[in-house]
A and B are shown apart, each in its own frame.
Chain A
Amino acid sequence: MAGQMRKALTYKLVLLGDAGVGKTAIAVQFVKGQFNPFLESTIGASFMNQTVTLPDETLIKFQIWDTAGQERFHSLAPMYYRGAQAAIVVYDITNRNSFEKAKEWIKELQQQGDPNVVVAFVGNKVDMPEARKIQPSEGESYASENGLFFIETSAKTAENVSELFMKIAKQLPSIQRQKDITSGPSNPGVKPGVGAPSKGKGGCCG
């Protein structure tokens, strides 16, 4: 109905991963549609908001917590992932250590995080295929073993960045619905999205 007010559903999303894998770059690409090769390192954590619209017109507002990657900040991490409904665990496809570190994050989330948390396992920097150390199959098989969804992105070229968040967004309300209305229809009518969320590149739609 025209003029009907719709409330955006707010979700807390946390970005985790080793230092320098591109967590901030992914978030900035998603929120502002920009890439900056010299983003300052994140200290503690930083925070962004971004709203996306699902094809079924549902509004999802992400509160994105972008955490510091260095091992040392690990003790602060629970404060950020506690209560998060979604987590993006990022590794750099050109760096094996970061892949191992990402697996540790997954384990920690499985043990400490909310059991219903939607976790995305993300290999970033696909714009550097010549330096690739982790094959997509490796990431994919780890993700499927652990019931996560897997995607490879490039914060630099924006490849798959909005898709990543759209995928998360689509999973979130269904979880919410399952939790809230156990007997209700599960509404599988969410179609694979075409529209990217409001981003700077093309026509900006607030």
Chain B
Amino acid sequence: MTAKKLNDSFENVETEDLQDLEGICDIKPSKPCSSLPRPKLIERPIFKKILQGQNKASFTFGALDPKDPMIGLRFDEYGFLLNHHLTKPVVRESLSVVQIREKQRKINEWRQILREWPANMGPSLVSLIEAGLPHEIRAQVWKKLTSASFPASQTHGYFDEMLSIRPRKKVVEQIDLDLPRTFPNHKIFLPELMNVCHGQDYLGQVLRAYSVHNSAVGYCQGMSYGAALLLMHFPQPEEAFRHFSFIMDGKLDRHFCHRMPGLIEDVATFAKLLEEALPKLYRHFQTEGLDCTIFLSQWWLSLFTSVPLWSTTLYAWDMLFLHGPKSLFTTALSVLSCCQDELLLLRGEGQMVPYLLNPPPEKTQPSALCHAAKLFNVDNLLARHRSAVQVRSPIRSPLSSPIKSPIRSPLRAASPRSSTKKVGRSLLDRFVDRITPRKSPRKRSLLEDEATPQIDKKKRMEGNDENVVNCIRLDVADDFKGVNGFKEFSSPARRVISFGEVDSPISPQGTELRDITRTPEIHQ
């Protein structure tokens, strides 16, 4: 983009879009514009300054501090612009002193765990990660989770080598088309700050390198969101690339390649899992003629970046790094399970699809999904229903070196092992004791469901047994409230998924649910 174009785009943002801010922020278009709160506008002179190249030195990643008064832009804790024309107006609660201390304590403990990271992941560490990571140390944990699995040949110069090969023209065109459309409301991808943040450049590099690295996939829309999410955590494109290939290679790439065979197989498998795990909801989908592909294609191909709550997205990614592609099934089942009661009240595609494409933030808090995930034993379910994730062909590298990645079996890869280094164990156990309940249902589900009587298991899978659900809540929820739960409640719904869909159930604040069971089909 030339400087002029940049200026133009900025002009557009100011004069056209910001005038109509209410509309994008508003879920219900018919509401009179004047009655809505008008979010604070971006301060124009500052952008002008940036565009003229002044203050350039201070506009590094670090300088884009949420509180930097010079900039006048406000970001949430994940780096998404607050009160932007692409962002929902957000009501944020500030943390109390106690909560801040608690959060700091958790971060410090995680730092120690990171220092003493065990060679083999034990179940306690697995459950710790499942319980929720402080955002500050997330990238480091992901790094630890992947470090053992990178092919040695990929460490040095591989990324540059991939970058030096030009992808096919069609691939380049599609990538270039999507760069400015990928999280344009995040601080590193803001179109207005493009020439100081380079986020789009780096994103282009990661995607082009990957398209060469895995030429069978090339580039598919949706991948840009995953790569962009990684760049938010790993500012170096090379590192983002490595983690991206960790997620994709030999596992999810079949979801994205030509004709999407992996997606189609996995959706079919998911339907079987759903039938077994949430039979009521499955029957409801059948009655209403809803095909799982409709929502799964968006959830899975966007790698859960399409859901409104960013902390939900990050939870899904934690699980992806921890458990591999089978976590796509678990997370999707958990979301459905959390929303089941409301979904059962909705009728037809017209009501159900908007709900599913935009699941309500208050129902999909990571803590809620974590609880719900305990209700399913996806390993068992998948073992019974052959899944596409189990059959993965290794990708072909464009270089003839032995880089051809030793693809790990996704299902075996993340299975928790019992051997933990002694030093890690004692520390972990102390930590786990604090945040995990005694006789924890979490531990039980980690250690397999085999011991659970058949009836009980069935009930748990169905998620109907109130006792089971309550007992999990009682056991776990309290610990979460202080540590993670509160934070998540205060985290903003990231953005409006463009479809401001007339019947959308999410309020601008994402906190209350409108009655969408009665769509106004009848008009006076």
Q: A: which residues have CB within 8 A of B?
A: 3, 5-8, 10, 19-20, 24, 28, 31-51, 59, 61, 63, 66, 68-70, 72-73, 75-76, 79, 198-200, 204-206
A8 CB contacts on chain B under 8 angstroms: 521-523
| A45 contacts across to B, CB distance below 8 A | 294, 297-298
Q: In the complex the two chains form, is B12's CB within 8 Å of A37's CB?
A: yes
The yes or no answer to B486 lying at the interface (CB within 8 A) is: no
Pair A46/B499 contact, Cβ less than 8 Å: yes
- How far is A43 from B299 in the complex, measured between Cα atoms in Å? 9
B33 touches A204 (CB 8 A): yes
- Residue numbers in B under 8 Å from A32 (CB-CB): 23-24, 29, 500
How far does the Cβ of B228 sit from chain A's closest Cβ, in whole Å? 10
Q: Decide if B147 is an interface residue (CB 8 Å cutoff).
A: no
Q: Is the CB of B17 within 8 A of A34?
A: yes
Q: Are A31 and B521 in contact (CB under 8 A)?
A: no
Question: Measured between alpha carbons, how far is A46 from B496 in the docked complex, in Å?
Answer: 13
Bound together, the chains give a CA A171 to CA B291 distance in angstroms of 29
Verify A75–B259 contact, CB threshold 8 A: yes
| A48–B500 CA distance with the chains assembled, in angstroms | 7
Chain B residues near A (Cβ < 8 Å) = 9, 12-13, 16-17, 20, 23-24, 29-33, 85-86, 174, 177-178, 180-184, 191, 220-222, 224-225, 256-260, 264, 291, 293-294, 297-298, 301-302, 306, 349-350, 353-354, 357, 497-503, 521-524
Query: Which residues from chain B contact A43 at a C-beta distance below 8 Å?
Result: 221-222, 225, 297-298, 301-302, 306
User: 19 additional contacts, CB 8 Å, given A35-B17, A36-B17?
Assistant: A3-B524, A6-B524, A19-B174, A20-B177, A41-B177, A41-B221, A43-B222, A43-B306, A45-B294, A47-B349, A48-B354, A49-B354, A70-B220, A72-B221, A72-B259, A72-B260, A198-B29, A200-B23, A206-B31
Residue of B nearest to A2 (CB): B524
Report 13 cross-chain contacts, Cβ distance below 8 Å, ordered by A residue: A5-B522, A20-B177, A24-B498, A32-B500, A40-B184, A44-B301, A48-B499, A63-B350, A66-B499, A70-B221, A200-B33, A204-B31, A206-B31
Pick from A5, A49, A69, A200: contact of B503, CB under 8 Å: A49
Q: Which residues of A contact B298 (CB under 8 A)?
A: 43-46
Q: Using Cβ atoms and an 8 Å threshold, which residues of chain A touch B23?
A: 32-34, 200
CA distance A196 to B291 in the complex (A): 34
Question: Could you say which residues of chain B place their CB within 8 Å of the CB of A33?
Answer: 20, 23, 29
B221 touches A68 (CB 8 A): yes
Contact A40 B222 (CB under 8 A): no
Name the A residues within 8 Å of B349 (CB-CB): 47, 63
Question: Is B221 within 8 A of A34, CB to CB?
Answer: no
B residues less than 8 Å from A40 (CB atoms): 181-184, 498
Query: Which residues of A lie under 8 Å from residue B293 when comparing CB positions?
Result: 44, 76, 79
Q: Which residue of A lies closest to B32 (CB)?
A: A204
The answer on a CB contact under 8 Å between B260 and A76 is: yes
Q: How far is B348's CA from A63's CA once the two chains are assembled, in angstroms? A: 11
**Which residues on the B side are within 8 Å of A39 (C-beta)?**
181, 498
How far apart are the CA atoms of A19 and B176 in the complex, in Å?
12
Residues in A neighbouring B221, C-beta threshold 8 A: 19, 41-43, 68-70, 72-73
Please give, as numbers and ranges, the residues of chain B lying within 8 Å of A20 by CB-CB distance.
Answer: 177
Tell whether, in the assembled complex, residue B502 and residue A49 are in contact, meaning their CB atoms are under 8 Å apart: yes
State A7–B524 Cα separation when bound (angstroms): 9
Nearest Cβ on chain B to A18's Cβ, whole angstroms: 10
Beta-carbon contact of A59 and B220 below 8 Å: no
> CB distance A72 to B29 under 8 Å?
no
* Distance between Cα atoms of A152 and B258 in the complex (Å): 32
CB-based contact B86/A36 at 8 Å = yes
| B521 engages A10 (CB within 8 Å) | yes
Chain B proximity of A83: nearest CB distance (Å): 9
Nearest-Cβ distance from residue A184 to partner chain B, whole angstroms = 24
Q: Nearest residue in A to B26 (C-beta to C-beta)?
A: A32
In the bound complex, residues from chain A placing their C-beta under 8 Å from that of B521 are 7-8, 10, 61
> Considering the chains assembled together, what is the distance between the CA atoms of A205 and B29 in angstroms?
9
Residue pair B174, A75 in contact (C-beta under 8 Å): no
Give 6 closest A-B pairs by Cβ, nearest first: A44-B297, A206-B30, A38-B184, A44-B298, A49-B502, A47-B353
Chain A positions within 8 Å of B357 at CB level: 46-47
Kindly list chain B residues whose C-beta atoms are within 8 Å of the C-beta of A206: 30-31
Query: Chain A nearest CB: distance from B350 CB in Å?
Result: 5
Cα-based distance from A10 to B222 in the complex (angstroms) = 31
Contact of A47 among B177, B260, B306, B501 (CB under 8 A): B501
Q: Do residues A205 and B291 form an inter-chain contact, with CB atoms below 8 A?
A: no
In the complex, what distance in Å separates the CA atom of A68 from the CA atom of B178? 12
CA distance A24 to B500 in the complex (A): 12
Smallest CB-CB separation from B34: which chain A residue? A204
Task: Provide the residues of chain B in CB contact with A198, threshold 8 Å.
Answer: 29-30
Give the residues in chain B near A205, CB-CB below 8 Å: 30
Residues of A within 8 A of B301 (CB): 43-44
Quick check: B24 and A34 within 8 Å, CB to CB? yes
Q: Is A75 within 8 A of B264, CB to CB?
A: yes
Q: Which of A3, A41, A200 contacts B29 (CB 8 A)?
A: A200
Q: If A32-B24, A48-B501 touch, does A41 touch B354 (CB 8 Å cutoff)?
A: no
> Which A-chain residue is minimally distant from B190 (CB atoms)?
A38
CA A35 – CA B221 in complex, angstroms? 22
> CA of A4 to CA of B357 in the docked complex: distance in angstroms?
35
Cβ–Cβ < 8 Å partners of B184 in chain A: 38, 40
Closest Cβ–Cβ distance, residue B81 to chain A (whole Å)? 12
Chain A residues with CB under 8 A of B524: 3, 5-6
Distance A205 CA – B293 CA, assembled complex (angstroms): 35
Give, as a whole number of angstroms, the nearest-CB distance from A48 to chain B.
5
Residues in chain A near residue B294, CB distance under 8 A: 44-45, 79
> Which residue of chain B lies nearest to A25 when distances are taken between CB atoms in the complex?
B498
Tell me the nearest residue of chain A to B306, going by C-beta. Answer: A43
Instruction: Decide: A46 and B30 in contact? CB cutoff 8 A.
Output: no
Q: How far apart are A70's CB and chain B's nearest CB, in angstroms?
A: 5
The answer on a CB contact under 8 Å between A46 and B224 is no
Q: By the criterion CB–CB under 8 Å, are B180 and A72 in contact? A: no
CA distance A36 to B524 in the complex (A): 33
- Residue in contact with A49 in the complex, picked from B225, B501, B522, CB distance below 8 Å: B501
Tell whether A79 pairs with B291 under 8 Å between CB atoms, given A41-B178, A44-B297, A47-B354.
yes
Identify the closest chain A residue to B350 (Cβ).
Answer: A63
Q: In the complex, which residue of chain B has the Cβ closest to the Cβ of A12?
A: B349
What separation, in Å, do the CA atoms of A59 and B521 have in the docked complex? Answer: 9
The residue of chain B having its C-beta at the shortest distance from the C-beta of A40 within the complex is B181
Q: How far is the CA of A59 from the CA of B222 in the complex (A)?
A: 36
Q: Distance in Å from the Cβ of A61 to the closest Cβ of chain B?
A: 7
Q: How far is the CB of B189 from chain A (nearest CB, A)?
A: 9
